[in-house]
């Protein structure tokens, strides 16, 4: 029998997989476009394109891990994946708020909102499902 917490973890993994796979592929395929949208037309493209591609590969990996883990929700690895996603999402929000990502316009605030929701979701799962996820 599926518990409500199990459904929430599965949904979290699926949503994260879709978001991060999309972001990762976009950063790998069109890093200059993403850099200009996030940091403006004056961004130094040469070094940032390489960094954007590296970030794209990392997000692609996170998205793939979430997709592959979407049915393995009760193991220690799933709990570790939710914890890692919590750290990542909180870091993105914190970096944006302290201004480390530059001026915030509509695209950046949209990303901050999505990462805030994801962070809250991860924290909720970590706090409320300790006994159902841990081995």
Domain presence at residue 18: yes
Q: What is the pTM for the complete model shown?
A: 0.66
Domain presence at residue 135: no
Domain presence at residue 116: yes
Q: List the chain pLDDT tens, one digit each, 135 residues.
A: 556 556 788 888 899 888 888 888 888 888 888 888 877 777 777 777 778 888 888 889 988 998 888 888 778 888 889 999 999 999 889 988 887 667 788 888 898 999 999 999 999 998 875 444 433
Q: How many domains does the chain have?
A: 1
SS (H, E, C) 13-75: HHHHHHHHHHHHHHHHHCHHHHHHHHHCCCCCHHHHHHHHHHHHHHHHHHHHHHHHHCCCCCC
State residue 93's pLDDT score.
92
Provide the residue range defining the domain that includes 16: 4-130
Domain presence at residue 21: yes
Domain presence at residue 79: yes
State residue 133's pLDDT score.
40
């Amino acid at each position: 029998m599926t518990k409500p917490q199990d459904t929430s973890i599965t949904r979290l993994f699926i949503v994260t997989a879709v978001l991060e796979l999309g972001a990762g592929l976009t950063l790998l395929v069109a890093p200059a476009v993403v850099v200009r949208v996030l940091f403006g037309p004056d961004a130094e493209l040469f070094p940032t394109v390489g960094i954007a591609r590296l970030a794209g590969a990392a997000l692609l990996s996170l998205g793939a891990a979430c997709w592959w883990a979407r049915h393995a929700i009760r193991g220690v690895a799933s709990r570790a994946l939710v914890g890692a996603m919590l750290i990542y999402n909180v870091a993105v929000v914190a970096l944006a708020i302290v201004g480390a990502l530059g001026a915030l316009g509509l695209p950046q605030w949209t990303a901050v909102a999505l990462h805030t929701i994801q962070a809250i979701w991860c924290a909720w799962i970590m706090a409320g499902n300790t006994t159902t996820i841990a081995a």
